[in-house]
Chain A
Amino acid sequence: MGNASIAVNPAAVAAKQKLVASFRSRGIVIALLSGLLYGFYTAFMTMGMSEGIWTVWYGAESGLSAFAVTYLLAALGAATTDTCSAMWALGFATVRGRFGDFLRTIKTKPGLVMVTAAIIGGPLASTAYVVGLQLAGSIVVPIAALCPAIGAILGRVWFKQELNSRMIFGIVICFGASAMIGSTGLDINAADNLMMGLLFGFLAALCWGIEGCVCGYGTSMIDPEIGITIRQVTSGFSNLIILVPLFGMISGADTVGMVAQSFGDASAMPWFLAAGLAAYLTFMYWYKGNAMCGAALGMACNGTFSFWGPFCCWVVLGLAMGIDGWSMPPIAWAAAVIMTIGIFIISMNPMDLFKKKEA
Chain B
Amino acid sequence: MIPLNYAILKMFTKVDEACADCVMDALRDRYGNYKAFKKPAIIEALMTAEANGLIEETRFDLDGNNELRVYYRAHEEGAATINAYIKG
Contacts and interface: CB of A to CB of B under 8 A. Distances in A.
B52 A101 contact: no
Contacts of B11: none
Contact of A222 (B5, B61, B66, B68): B5
B15 interface: no
B86 interface: yes
A165 interface: no
A220 B85 CA distance: 11
Interface stretch (A102-110, A136-144, A189-197, A313-321): A102-110
A293 B6 contact: no
Interface in A89-144: 96-98, 101, 104-105, 108-110
A256 B47 CA distance: 46
Interface residues of A, number: 32
Given A1-B61, A97-B34, A291-B51, A23 B2 contact: no
Given A6-B61, A9-B62, A12-B60, A97 B36 contact: yes
B49 interface: yes
B35 A19 contact: no
A11 interface: yes
Contacts of B4: 101, 223
A221 B51 contact: no
A294 B50 CA distance: 10
Contacts of A15: 62, 67-68
B3 A101 contact: yes
A164 interface: no
A223 B47 contact: no
B3 A105 contact: yes
Residue in A15, A104, A292 whose Cβ sees the most chain B Cβ within 10 Å? A15
A3 B4 CA distance: 30
Contact of A221 (B5, B35, B60, B66): B5
Contacts of A294: 51
A11 B6 contact: no
Contact of A110 (B35, B43, B60, B85): B85
By secondary structure, the B interface counts as: mixed
A110 B86 contact: yes
Nearest to A216: B52
A12 B87 CA distance: 36
B54 interface: yes
B35 A96 contact: yes
Contacts of A2: 59
A124 B47 CA distance: 33
Contact of B35 (A97, A105, A222, A293): A97
Interface in B43-84: 43-45, 47-49, 51-54, 59-62, 66-68, 70, 82
A9 B49 CA distance: 26
Contacts of A226: 3, 5
B75 to A, nearest CB: 14
Interface string A289-308: 00111100000000000000
A291 B59 contact: no
B44 A11 contact: no
Contacts of A110: 85-86
Contact of A220 (B36, B49, B62, B87): B49
A6 B47 CA distance: 19
Contacts of A293: 51
**8 pairs of A and B residues whose beta carbons are closest in the complex:** A97-B35, A220-B52, A15-B68, A101-B3, A5-B61, A223-B5, A105-B3, A12-B62
21 contacts: A1-B61, A2-B59, A6-B59, A6-B60, A6-B61, A11-B62, A12-B62, A12-B68, A15-B67, A16-B70, A19-B68, A97-B34, A97-B35, A108-B2, A108-B86, A109-B85, A220-B49, A221-B5, A221-B82, A223-B4, A223-B36
Interface of B: 1-6, 9, 34-36, 43-45, 47-49, 51-54, 59-62, 66-68, 70, 82, 85-87
Given A105-B3, A220-B53, A292-B47, 15 more contacts: A1-B59, A6-B60, A11-B66, A12-B62, A19-B68, A23-B47, A101-B34, A109-B86, A219-B48, A220-B48, A220-B49, A221-B86, A223-B4, A226-B3, A292-B44
